[in-house]
Structure 1
Amino acid sequence: MNERHKNENQKWSKIREKGKKHYILYYGVLGWGLSTGVLFFLVGEVMDHKLAFRGYFTGGWVLELAIAIGSFLLGGLLFGYTMWGFNEGNYTSDDEVRE
C-alpha cells in the first residue's frame, strides 16, 4: 500500500469512528447541502439581476432561499449516503493490510 492510500485510510478510519449518521449529517447535509444551496441561491440572484444591486433580495427571496436550501439539504442526504458507501468501499482496515 502506498503512502497516499495509507494516509487516506487513516483519515477515513477517524471519520468513520463517529458513525454513518454523523457523516451523512455533517458532510452531506450541512457540508454539501447547505453550502451548495446558499451558493445556488446567490448565483441565481446575480444571474437574475446582473450588477443592478438595487434588485437583489427584493420580492420573494426568502421563499426562493428556503426552497434552494431545502432542496439541497435533501440532496445532501443522498450525497452523504452515497459518499459513505463509496468511502467504505475504498477503505482497507488495518487487519486487511496485515494479511
Structure 2
Amino acid sequence: MNQEQAAKWAKIRTMGKARYVMYYGVAAWGVGLTALFTGMEWLTQGTVTGQWLTIRLLVFSVVGFILSNFKWEKNERSHRGGQ
C-alpha cells in the first residue's frame, strides 16, 4: 500500500467496519447489482418479477457483505504493513 492509498484507507476506516460493510457491501454491491439486473430484466422482458427482485436483493447483499468483509481485512493487513 503506497502513501496515497494508506491516507485514503486511514480516512475510510474511521467509519468503522460495520458501517463500511453496510455502505460498500450491502448498499453498493447489493442494491447496485439488484438495480442493474432488475433493469436488464425490465429491458429484455418488459416486466419485473417481485419474487426475483427479492431473491436478487438477498443474494447480492450477502455477496456484497462477504466481499466487503474480505476487503476490509485485506486493507487492514496492508495498512499495518503485513501481506
2:9 to 7, 12, 18: 12
Name the counterpart of 1:73.
61
* Contact 1:34–1:73 under 8 Å retained in 2: yes
> Taking structure 1 as the reference length, what is the TM-score of the superposition?
0.70
Which structure has the larger Rg over C-alpha atoms?
Answer: 1
Work out the number of aligned pairs and report it: 81
- RMSD of the alignment, in Å? 2.0
C-alpha deviation, 1:25, in angstroms: 0.4
Counterpart AA for 1:82? F
Deviations 1:18-72 (A, max 9, x none): 11001100011101121012212323444xx3xxxxx4116xx111111111110
SS of residue matched to 1:67: helix
Unmatched 5+ residue regions in structure 1? 50-54, 94-99
Unmatched 5+ residue regions in structure 2? none
In the alignment, is residue 85 of structure 1 matched against residue 73 of structure 2? yes
CA distance in 1, matches of 2:46, 2:10: 44
CA distance in 2, matches of 1:5, 1:63: 45
CA distance in 2, matches of 1:75, 1:37: 11
Question: Higher helix share goes to which structure?
Answer: 2
* Contact 1:20–1:84 under 8 Å retained in 2: yes
> Taking structure 2 as the reference length, what is the TM-score of the superposition?
0.82
Kindly, what percent of the aligned residue pairs are identical?
Answer: 28
